[in-house]
Amino acid sequence: MSTQDAQSTPSKQGAPSEPSKQSTAITNIGLLVTNEAERPELENAALVIENGKVAWLGDSSKAPVADERIDAEGRCVIPGFVDSHSHLVFAGDRSDEFEARMTGQKYEAGGIRRTVRLTREASDAELEANTAKLVAEMRAQGTTTVEIKSGYGLTVADEERALRIAGKFTAETTYLGAHVVPTEFADDPAGYVDLVTGEMLEACAPHAKWIDVFCDRGAFDEDQARAILNAGKAKGLGLRMHGAQLGPSGAVRLAVELGAASVDHCTFLTDADVDALAASDTVATQLPGVEFSTRQPYPDARRLIEAGARVAIACDCNPGSSFTSSMPFCMAVAVRDMRMSPAEALWSATAGGAAALRRTDIGGLAVGQRADLVILDAPSYVHLAYRPGVPLIHRVLAAD
């Protein structure tokens, strides 16, 4: 087991590289969130970690003896956040676009091409350093698992190097050659789809776990998205999709039809979209930072939850539409503007993110799961929304 201070640099799995101890007991936990169906929350609790996994949990007075003891002093302990959607391998700054949007300019997908140009010009070392900085920001705010996409290279070489860099920080790497059509293919989008599903896929698949496509106005249509996802599936990659961000379309139902693990954004949903998600195991990933940063309408998470769909929350950290690395901030926005309860927002930021990555070893603190957890400087997780913007992460622990 290892712990990390906010300034530490995480390893590939997001875990700091300190010497492991055989067992650690965290006692005197005021409120422990497990995300277990039978006992999702425990008061006056303790938790024992052995070899990076939860080995025991229960009443603090009955905690077994361990090699190391951490006194939580009545604080709340929650699972580490699982951020299932991010774009961290990039160069440059687009704060001027944010400023323009705040004064009335509409958000369009085309700004991605600006980041593509700057990312292509950057060195490997510059991209890796920026990615490391952002992953460390996330860890300091309680994120213990992060998914990282490519998508700001859009050439064979640049997409492959983005995934190689991402792979130094996480096993959850996603090939997003189909982010937008780059400038050099503006007159031949079909030719770019051929590249994405051909030579680029061949180069990137060995470095990726997932394939993604931005299926929306200004990016790729449903026929193109189907071809791209099916090509990735044939290479053994799991499926993800950006859909229904800029307007309603058939993207969400396509994601469900193809068995995608998640469809992300889900801002503009039809009744048919909601019904399809509710009847499937495709997770609807909500990205509140996008609506905050673009002044688009917020998704109606309540509608999805009441229909029976599984919902995740992620940051979508990127330089254009959502430059936040803070899951607590995204949770607070989801509670305030997307009609989620604090408990629902926490579940979506932990277990929901794990479901979006089709992982059962993270997102909760049941016996046998990875011991990725956060000790809050608060008596309850409700404070994450109740006290927005306040640094409430007391300590982060993650399994090696």
**What integer pLDDT is reported at residue 207 of this predicted model?**
98
Q: Report helix angle 222-234 to 251-258, nearest 10.
A: 20
**CA 34 vs CA 15, 125, 222, 370: distances in Å:** 20, 39, 39, 12
Nearest to 252 by CA among 216, 287, 198: 216
Alpha carbon of 347 to those of 26, 136, 155, 263: distances in Å?
21, 23, 37, 18
pLDDT tens figures, 71-86: 999 999 999 999 999 9
Which pLDDT belongs to residue 140? 98
Domain with CATH 2.30.40.10 in the chain: 2-79+364-398
Cβ atoms 298, 345 nearer than 8 A: no
Secondary structure E strands in the chain: 2-4, 23-33, 41-50, 53-59, 68-71, 76-79, 81-83, 143-146, 148-149, 173-178, 210-215, 238-243, 262-265, 283-286, 311-313, 373-376, 393-398
**Amino acid (1-letter code) at residue 238:** G
Residue pair 49/371 in contact by the 8 Å Cβ criterion? yes
Q: Quick check: 218 and 110 in contact, CB under 8 A?
A: yes
**Mutual angle of helices 156-166 and 124-140, in 10-degree steps:** 40
Asked if 41 and 366 touch (Cβ cutoff 8 Å), the reply is: no
- In which residue are the tokens 């991402």 written? 166
Instruction: Write the CB contacts of 48 (distance below 8 Å, at least 6 apart in sequence).
Output: 23, 24, 25, 26, 54, 55, 56, 57, 63, 64, 66
C-beta separation of 261 from 283 below 8 A: yes
The whole-angstrom separation of Cα 226 and Cα 38 is 39
Residue ranges of the chain assigned to CATH 3.20.20.140? 82-356
Residue 344 C-beta-side C-alpha neighbours within 13 Å: 19
Place of tokens 């509140």: 288
pLDDT of residue 387: 98
CATH 3.20.20.140 fits 82-356, yes or no: yes
**Under CATH, which architecture does the 2-79+364-398 domain have?**
Roll (2.30)
The predicted-structure confidence for 313-359, as pLDDT tens digits, reads as follows 999 999 999 999 999 999 999 999 999 999 999 999 999 999 999 99
Q: Mark residue 37 as left, alpha or beta (left: phi above 0; alpha: psi -120 to 50; beta: remaining).
A: alpha
Give the SS3 label for residue 20: coil
**Cβ pair 400, 378 in contact under 8 A:** no
* pLDDT value at residue 225: 98
Asked if residue 83 lies in contact with residue 147, where contact means CB atoms within 8 angstroms, the answer is: yes
**Confidence (pLDDT) at 107:** 74
pTM: 0.94
Low-confidence ranges of the chain (pLDDT < 70): 1-21, 109-110, 400
Instruction: Tell which phi-psi region holds residue 295, choosing left (phi > 0), alpha (psi between -120 and 50) or beta.
Output: left
